[in-house]
A = this chain, B = another copy of it.
Amino acid sequence: MHMTSSSPSEPRIQLAHGGGGSLSQQLIRELIVPAFGPADGVLHDAALLPCPGGRLAFTTDSYVVRPLIFPGGDIGRLAVIGSINDLAMAGAEPLALSLGLILEEGLPIASLERVLASIRREASACGVAVVTGDTKVVERGKGDGIFINTAAIGQVSHELTIGPAAVRPGDAVLVSGDLGRHGVAILAAREELGFRTPLESDLAPLLEPVRALLGAGLELHCLRDLTRGGLASALQEIAGAAGVRLELEEAAIPIAPAVQAACNLLGLDPLTMANEGRLTLLLPQEQAGAALAVLRRFDAAAAQIGIARELTADTAAGRELRAEAGPGRSLFGLSRPPVSLRNGLGVSRPLDPGRGEHLPRIC
């Protein structure tokens, strides 16, 4: 904590620790999980609390997105939707929202007013109220305009166990729409990158699609919103926690041409790009058609993109080898990775979540 007296060679936080890729996962695995030791070794976006009146879901996220306004949204809307979507992924109905603001000295009051109006509007649209809050101010140059934290409480009325532990070999892997729009919209809004795209962020609450899925009586095994780190990071985590292998068909994954073009230009993989209004759903293959029919009422691009397979001894050994090899060494060819992409020629390659260094401050 004595930052000035520490040696220059000691390990330090890097931007990639916040990028949602492998370095973020490593930080969580090596520091956060050991400190707070969740029983199942997995930190859930929303924790479930047994309470006298039923289960509660509880979640938190901080928002440091840059710029504060981007095509399709702003930091205030994002801060409401982000936490509401974490509740939705537990199948929970929002009960209350908290709001923590860290403001930088010199921020125009008018900017704060606009962000607060945006928060109020979106919370109201989601049918939830901001019931408690806190405001701190830091010196100029010790913050960046506005940082927001929201925490949300939700009520869980269904009886399902939704999470990686419920995933079974044979489950279908679905996505609720095309991928990568939020990440591309944010990068395009950063003027220094010097490219433009007509794309808007996909930022949107996922309450309604999840309500419809629950209402249809489907056996939802796992729901995950595809935020920081995108599809790649989410599926890597799910496969690891579920102890399954996920086989994806590359051609089935919906990517808008403008997103693909922007990613080609920047040398980025759209499957690692953040989304703020997209989810992946795993459920029994025989219910995939019914689930897709529900999801397509909200977005025609919803699709089945793959299937869960048993984690064979060969694959498990491969994962250990990969861990020994460390990041950066591909073991493609040695073993089947936990998440693989098959192209049109039937050739598979591992899905790489990346380290995350190219995508700071995306949410």
Nearest Cβ distance between residue A207 and chain B, in whole angstroms?
Answer: 19
B108 touches A6 (CB 8 A): yes
Q: Which of B6, B44, B130, B138 is close to A132, meaning CB atoms less than 8 Å apart?
A: B44
Interface string of A51-63 (1 = CB under 8 A from B): 1111010111111
Asked, given contacts A36-B120, A100-B62, whether A106 binds B13 with beta carbons under 8 Å apart, the answer is yes
The chain B residue with its CB closest to the CB of A32 is: B133
Q: In the bound complex, how far is the Cα of B132 from the Cα of A32, in angstroms?
A: 10
* Residues of the B chain whose Cβ atoms lie less than 8 Å from the Cβ of A361: 136, 138-139
Q: Which of B18, B45, B52 is close to A53, meaning CB atoms less than 8 Å apart?
A: B52
Number of copies: 2
Nearest Cβ distance between residue A130 and chain B, in whole angstroms?
Answer: 5
Contact-residue bracket for chain A? 35 or more
B10 touches A110 (CB 8 A): yes
A contact patch SS? mixed
Report if A242 contacts B (CB, 8 A). no
Q: In the bound complex, how far is the Cα of B17 from the Cα of A109, in angstroms?
A: 11
A:296-327 near B, CB below 8 Å: none
* Residues of the B chain whose Cβ atoms lie less than 8 Å from the Cβ of A113: 31
A135 touches B12 (CB 8 A): no
Interface string of A3-19 (1 = CB under 8 A from B): 10010001111111111
Nearest Cβ distance between residue A45 and chain B, in whole angstroms?
Answer: 7
* Residues of the B chain whose Cβ atoms lie less than 8 Å from the Cβ of A10: 108-110
A35 touches B144 (CB 8 A): no
Subset of 24 A-B contacts with CB under 8 Å: A1-B69, A1-B145, A3-B145, A6-B111, A10-B108, A11-B109, A12-B109, A13-B108, A17-B137, A35-B117, A35-B120, A35-B130, A43-B132, A49-B95, A51-B53, A52-B53, A58-B96, A58-B132, A60-B149, A61-B100, A64-B102, A132-B151, A138-B361, A153-B153
